């Protein structure tokens, strides 16, 4: 029993059915492991590792330059709507409690989306698409994204960032 | 302090008085914590259920911080310390190495608990239990963590010292029992974990005092999760040890192969501490190679260990039952198991819910890319309520129903009620987890006051199905809360008002060991069960890759 000490030589041969299970489980574990590098080679969704050190001040400047350069496609709820050209650098910042600016993208086109935070840790979650990345102050994270659906998606903050956390919702429109 | 021993009439174990009193003290602190955490759970649950939406935002975030810490840290760790004191000195019939230090560590942990809870209730620490820098709480909140971690670390050292004492004083011969071995594994992981706690909380405390200027948020997350996730591995290891213990106490099971069981525990030590990566898979600061290696604990060898325990525990039950003559078909041994015994009910629910729900979702969401469609959604909270609540907490509850008669020496006020409690909690939790996890796959965020977005700049439309699943979560949660309340009532009621257990053997019914005639006993039933498990695992895992492939392209 599991409460008794073991005397003498207690290791015995492993039973055939146990051996079989350990073997199957090991193979399954190796498949689990192989899936991740495989998806990096063949799959369309992989966490980026294009990251740069930045500061809130530096990143804010870049975002402001990006917004000023446009092309601007109007304004919504007081936020500029930027419709960047495909294959260009696109910027969005998170701050208490707002994603800035809002974007207008084209389906099937690729953009390099730079994300960073002005203050606390935020969570970049495309809603209801369900695509999630972390946004940390001091780190400029570059996601190369290609929208494959049209319509409105929202950027919900899904890391707790203080009392206004649930109000932090931004927007991306895809045509 | 003088060592006094009694011999337990039920188990024949020699019980050191200080070890026993410390087990009582830690168990009481644990039950008080689950009561606190449970009260907060009512408020949090009723707020996240959109149809009720009870609290205002500030109270919600405060209650959520309080719930997370009291449950995940205080309830679990106090109970684990009690388990260590049992599995070391008591199982080995020895004394606790340092009784006085045992009390010092307990006082430190209680002081830490008080500081943290006071900080939260005063509104000085609305930061969640993760307190991600640069979000800052009052400095005594961090001091509370340090006191608690140091206290727990000293308690773990006391456990190891007791193993040394037992060996030196020859209170046993041969190799230590499996339960002690498992507990020692948990203890080793605990030391590594608590060291991470010290590395992260000491600078963070100094930062909150203004002595250090800056804490890097990326490094904070990396080291914090060295504490946060590794401590979950203590829970897994302690829970598995309790599975073996409950199997012995309820059906007289003997591990089918000590070599296999012990090797599996060793795999936990070797690989499980890498798992802090689970929380950092979609973070900017780490490379894919680092993420893949660490999230898989080096090629999933710790998952292998859990899959091995997942077979050897039910197999040991099957063998014991078959030896008693329950040999018909594949499952007579299971059908005629003591389902009316709260300890067995807890073993069965804890093992199957942890494996089928907690384990499968955990490994799946922990795949680097699948994390993109689960990180920080309710899928994650659903996952860990299946591990640390349906798995660990139910195992602890089942064990409590042995701790009360054997250590507090009081009969349960009602064994029937205790059994009903386990089922109520387990079934409620299963519904709750199903609702929560599925709501999460509609991208419903965790730690979020209002998924109707009534006060935000934009109002994203939310699918009706997502609300329906949040409702299911609410209903299941209420059942689980009723089960949790019953647990506290039965435990406290029995300790205070239960009949005294007389010093006559057999007063507490413990399973007899089946006769070992050296015969070979097949484990066909268990083999079928584990194959069903594997099939579910494969289906769920690949479904998630399919869902992943349907979102935007991102790299
Ligand atoms: C009847 C029992 C319980 C119910 C109804 C319940 C309910 C909930 C709910 C609704 C949340 C909020 C999810 C969110 O908004 O992100 C939550 C979070 C949480 N629960 Fe529970 N819970 C229960 C028991 C437990 C137990 C026993 C533990 C630990 C052993 C636990 C650990 C946690 C943790 C760690 C969190 C996350 C807190 C955070 O995100 O900071 N819960 N629970
Ligand atoms: Cu935010
Ligand atoms: Cu937020």
- Closest chain B residue by Cα to residue A5: B177
Q: Which of B357, B378, B354, B384 is nearest to B470 (CA)?
A: B378
Ligand index nearest the alpha carbon of residue A118: 2
| B192 vs A89, residue with greater confidence | A89
pLDDT tens-digit map of B525-545? 999 999 999 999 999 999 999
- Closest chain B residue by Cα to residue A26: B304
Long-range (24+ apart) CB contacts under 8 A made by B270-274 are B270/B298, B270/B301, B270/B302, B271/B297, B271/B298, B271/B301, B271/B302, B271/B305, B272/B189, B272/B230, B272/B233, B272/B236, B272/B237, B272/B297, B272/B302, B273/B189, B273/B192, B273/B193, B273/B226, B273/B230, B273/B233, B274/B298
Count the residues in chain B. 555
| B267 vs B57, residue with greater confidence | B57
Q: Which of B144, B30, B139 is nearest to B84 (CA)?
A: B30
At A160 the three-state DSSP class reads coil
DSSP A8-38: S----PPPHHHHHHHHHHHHHHHHHHHHHHH
Ligand index nearest the alpha carbon of residue B37: 1
Q: DSSP state, B285?
A: S
Q: Ligand 1: which atom is nearest the Cα of residue B47?
A: 10
pLDDT tens-digit map of B340-362? 999 999 999 999 999 999 999 99
Pairing verdict, β A50-53 and A139-146: antiparallel
Yes or no, beta carbons of B373 and A18 under 8 Å apart: no
Yes or no, beta carbons of A17 and B245 under 8 Å apart: no
A84 touches chain B (CB under 8 A): no
- pLDDT at position B275 over 70: no
A99 CA distance to ligand 2 middle (Å): 8
Q: Is the Cβ–Cβ distance between B361 and B353 less than 8 Å?
A: no
pLDDT value of position A6 = 82
pLDDT tens-digit map of B426-446? 999 999 999 999 999 999 999
**C-alpha span between B56 and B4 (Å, rounded):** 54
Yes or no, beta carbons of B248 and A149 under 8 Å apart: no
Mutate to test the pocket of ligand 1, among B35, B41, B450 (most ligand atoms within 8 A of CB): B41
Pairing verdict, β A111-117 and A89-95: parallel
pLDDT value of position A23 = 95
| B300 vs B372, residue with greater confidence | B372
In chain B, the percentage of residues whose pLDDT exceeds 90 is 83
pLDDT value of position B273 = 58
pLDDT value of position B512 = 83
A153 CA distance to ligand 2 middle (Å): 17
Task: Identify the residue whose tokens are 């089946």.
Answer: B514
Our CA angle for B242, B342, B32, nearest 5°, is: 70
B451 CA distance to ligand 2 middle (Å): 14
Pairing verdict, β B553-554 and A139-146: antiparallel
Q: Tell me which residue in A127, A146, A160 faces B447 most closely, judged by beta carbons.
A: A160
Element (H, E) at A142: strand A139-146
Q: Ligand 1: which atom is nearest the Cα of residue B45?
A: 10
Q: Is the Cβ–Cβ distance between A159 and A121 less than 8 Å?
A: yes
Give the distance from residue B518's alpha carbon to the nearest chain A alpha carbon, in angstroms: 13
Q: Is B120 in the pocket of ligand 1 (CB under 6 A)?
A: no
Task: Identify the residue whose tokens are 């369900």.
Answer: A130
Q: Which of A130, A159, A168, A174 would best serve as a mutation to test chain B binding (most B beta carbons within 10 A)?
A: A130
Q: Residue B274 — pLDDT band, cuts 50, 70, 90?
A: low
- pLDDT at position B272 over 70: no
Per-residue pLDDT, averaged over B235-257, amounts to 93
pLDDT value of position B177 = 93
- Cβ contacts of B28 within 8 Å, gap of 6 or more: none
- pLDDT at position B522 over 90: no
Yes or no, beta carbons of A134 and B449 under 8 Å apart: no
Q: Which residue, by CA, sits nearest to atom 40 of ligand 1?
A: B447
| B155 vs B277, residue with greater confidence | B155
- pLDDT at position B224 over 80: yes
What are the φ/ψ torsions at residue A45 (nearest 5 degrees)? -125, 110
pLDDT value of position B194 = 86
**C-alpha span between A7 and B175 (Å, rounded):** 7
Q: Is B480 in the pocket of ligand 1 (CB under 6 A)?
A: yes
DSSP B323-345: HTT--STTTHHHHTS-TTSHHHH
At B520 the three-state DSSP class reads coil
| B290 vs A131, residue with greater confidence | A131
pLDDT tens-digit map of B62-72? 999 999 999 99
Instruction: Provide, as residue numbers in chain A, all residues whose Cβ is less than 8 Å from the Cβ of B50.
Output: none
pLDDT value of position B301 = 83
Q: Is B447 in the pocket of ligand 1 (CB under 6 A)?
A: yes
**C-alpha span between B427 and B477 (Å, rounded):** 10
Q: Residue B276 — pLDDT band, cuts 50, 70, 90?
A: confident
Q: Is B400 in the pocket of ligand 1 (CB under 6 A)?
A: no
pLDDT tens-digit map of A29-71? 999 999 999 999 999 999 999 999 999 999 999 999 999 998 9
- pLDDT at position B1 over 70: no
Token output for B157: 């050292």
Yes or no, beta carbons of A170 and B458 under 8 Å apart: yes
For residue B417, CA distances in Å to B138, B372, B420, B500 come to 43, 43, 5, 18
**C-alpha span between B351 and B232 (Å, rounded):** 16
Q: Residue B198 — pLDDT band, cuts 50, 70, 90?
A: confident
Give the distance from residue B484's alpha carbon to the nearest chain A alpha carbon, in angstroms: 27
Q: Is the dihedral of CA B244, B248, B250, B252 positive or negative?
A: positive
Q: Tell me which residue in A21, A39, A125 faces B376 most closely, judged by beta carbons.
A: A125
Q: Residue B295 — pLDDT band, cuts 50, 70, 90?
A: confident
Q: Tell me which residue in B255, B259, B304 faces A26 most closely, judged by beta carbons.
A: B304
Token output for A101: 């600016």
- pLDDT at position B2 over 80: no
Instruction: Provide, as residue numbers in chain A, all residues whose Cβ is less than 8 Å from the Cβ of B373.
Output: 130-132
Q: Is B48 in the pocket of ligand 1 (CB under 6 A)?
A: yes
Mutate to test the pocket of ligand 1, among B381, B433, B444 (most ligand atoms within 8 A of CB): B381
Give the distance from residue A128's alpha carbon to the nearest chain B alpha carbon, in angstroms: 6
Yes or no, beta carbons of A36 and B312 under 8 Å apart: no
pLDDT value of position B515 = 76
Across the A/B interface, how many CB contacts are shorter than 8 Å? 301
Which of A7-16, A90-99, B206-215, B368-377 is predicted least confidently? A7-16
- When the pLDDT of each residue in chain B is averaged and rounded to a whole number, the result is 94
- pLDDT at position A134 over 70: yes
Instruction: Provide, as residue numbers in chain A, all residues whose Cβ is less than 8 Å from the Cβ of B58.
Output: 163
Give the distance from residue B271's alpha carbon to the nearest chain A alpha carbon, in angstroms: 13
Q: DSSP state, A137?
A: B
pLDDT value of position B355 = 95
B514 CA distance to ligand 3 middle (Å): 57
pLDDT tens-digit map of B14-48? 999 999 999 999 999 999 999 999 999 999 999 99
- Domain extents in chain B: 26-36+63-228
Token output for B180: 């002690």
**Entry pTM:** 0.96
**C-alpha span between A5 and B97 (Å, rounded):** 20
Q: Is B128 in the pocket of ligand 1 (CB under 6 A)?
A: yes
In chain A, the percentage of residues whose pLDDT exceeds 70 is 99
Give the distance from residue B255's alpha carbon to the nearest chain A alpha carbon, in angstroms: 6
Angle between helices B342-353 and B297-323 (to 10 degrees): 150
DSSP A78-120: TEEEE-PPTTSEEEEEEETTEEESEEEE-TT--EEEEEEESSS
Burial class (CB in 10 A: 0-12, 13-18, 19+), B383: buried
Q: Which residue, by CA, sits nearest to atom 1 of ligand 1?
A: B481
pLDDT value of position B151 = 96
pLDDT value of position B299 = 67
Per-residue pLDDT, averaged over B306-329, amounts to 94
Element (H, E) at B46: helix B17-48
């Amino acid at each position: 029993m599991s409460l008794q000490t073991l005397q003498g030589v207690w290791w015995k041969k492993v039973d055939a059915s146990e051996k079989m299970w350990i073997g199957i489980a090991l193979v399954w574990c190796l498949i689990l492991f192989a899936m991740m590098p495989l998806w990096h080679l063949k799959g369309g969704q992989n966490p980026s590792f294009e990251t740069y050190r930045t500061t809130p001040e530096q990143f804010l400047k870049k975002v402001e330059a990006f917004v000023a350069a446009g092309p601007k496609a109007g304004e919504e709820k007081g936020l500029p709507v930027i419709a960047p050209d495909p294959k260009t650098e696109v910027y969005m910042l998170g701050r208490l409690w707002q994603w800035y600016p809002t974007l207008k993208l084209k389906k099937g086109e690729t953009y390099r989306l730079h994300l960073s935070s002005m203050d606390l840790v935020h969570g970049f979650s495309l809603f209801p698409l369900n695509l999630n990345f972390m946004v940390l102050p001091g780190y400029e994270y570059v996601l190369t994204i290609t929208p494959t659906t049209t319509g409105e998606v929202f950027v919900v903050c899904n890391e707790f960032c203080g009392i206004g956390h649930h109000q932090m919702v931004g927007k991306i429109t895809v045509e | 302090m003088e060592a006094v021993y009694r011999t337990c009439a039920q188990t024949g174990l020699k019980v050191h008085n200080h070890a026993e009193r410390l087990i009582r003290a830690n168990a009481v602190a644990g039950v008080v914590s689950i009561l606190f955490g449970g009260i907060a759970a009512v408020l949090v649950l009723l707020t996240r259920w959109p149809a009720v939406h009870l609290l205002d935002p500030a109270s919600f975030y405060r209650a959520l911080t309080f719930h997370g810490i009291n449950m995940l840290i205080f309830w679990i760790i106090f109970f684990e310390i009690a388990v260590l004191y049992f599995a070391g000195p008591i199982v080995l019939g020895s004394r606790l190495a340092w009784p006085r230090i045992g009390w010092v560590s307990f006082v430190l942990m209680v002081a830490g608990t008080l500081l943290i809870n006071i900080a939260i209730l005063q509104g000085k620490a609305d930061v969640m239990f993760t307190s991600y820098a640069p979000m800052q709480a009052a400095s005594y909140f961090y001091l509370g963590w340090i006191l608690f971690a140091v206290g727990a670390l000293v308690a773990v050292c006391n456990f190891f010292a007791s193993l040394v004492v037992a060996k030196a004083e020859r209170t046993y011969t041969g190799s230590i029992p499996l339960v002690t071995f498992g507990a020692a594994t948990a203890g080793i992981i605990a030391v590594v974990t608590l060291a991470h706690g010290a590395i992260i909380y000491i600078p963070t405390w100094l930062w909150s005092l203004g002595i250090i200027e800056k804490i890097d948020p990326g490094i904070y997350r990396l080291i914090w999760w060295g504490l946060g996730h590794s401590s979950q591995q203590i829970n897994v290891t302690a829970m598995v040890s309790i599975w073996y213990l409950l199997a012995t106490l309820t059906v007289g099971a003997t591990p089918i192969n000590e070599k296999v069981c012990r090797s599996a525990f060793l795999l936990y030590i070797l690989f499980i501490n890498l798992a802090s990566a689970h929380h950092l898979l979609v973070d900017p600061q780490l490379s894919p190679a680092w993420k893949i290696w660490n999230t898989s604990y080096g090629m999933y060898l710790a998952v292998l260990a859990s899959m091995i325990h997942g077979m050897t525990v039910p197999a040991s039950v099957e063998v014991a039952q078959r030896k008693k003559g329950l040999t018909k078909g594949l499952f007579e041994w299971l059908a005629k198991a003591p389902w009316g015994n709260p300890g067995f009910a807890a073993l069965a629910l804890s093992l199957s819910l942890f494996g089928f729900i907690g384990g499968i979702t955990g490994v799946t969401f922990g795949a680097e890319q699948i994390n993109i469609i689960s990180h920080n959604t309710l899928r994650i909270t659903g996952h860990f309520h299946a591990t640390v609540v349906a798995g660990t907490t139910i195992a602890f509850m089942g064990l409590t129903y042995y701790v009360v008669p054997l250590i507090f020496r009081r009969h349960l006020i009602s064994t029937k009620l205790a059994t009903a409690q386990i089922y109520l909690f387990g079934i409620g939790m299963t519904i709750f987890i199903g609702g929560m996890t599925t709501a999460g796959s509609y991208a419903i965020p965790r730690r979020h006051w209002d998924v109707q977005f009534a006060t935000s700049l934009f109002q994203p439309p939310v699918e009706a199905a997502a609300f329906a699943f949040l409702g299911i979560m609410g209903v299941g949660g209420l059942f689980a809360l009723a089960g949790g309340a019953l647990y506290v009532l039965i435990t406290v009621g029995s300790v205070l008002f239960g009949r005294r257990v007389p010093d006559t053997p057999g007063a507490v019914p413990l399973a007899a060991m089946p006769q070992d005639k050296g015969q070979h006993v097949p484990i066909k039933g268990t083999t079928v069960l584990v194959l069903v498990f594997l099939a579910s695992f494969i289906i769920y895992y690949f479904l998630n890759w399919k869902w992943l492939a349907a979102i935007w392209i991102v790299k």
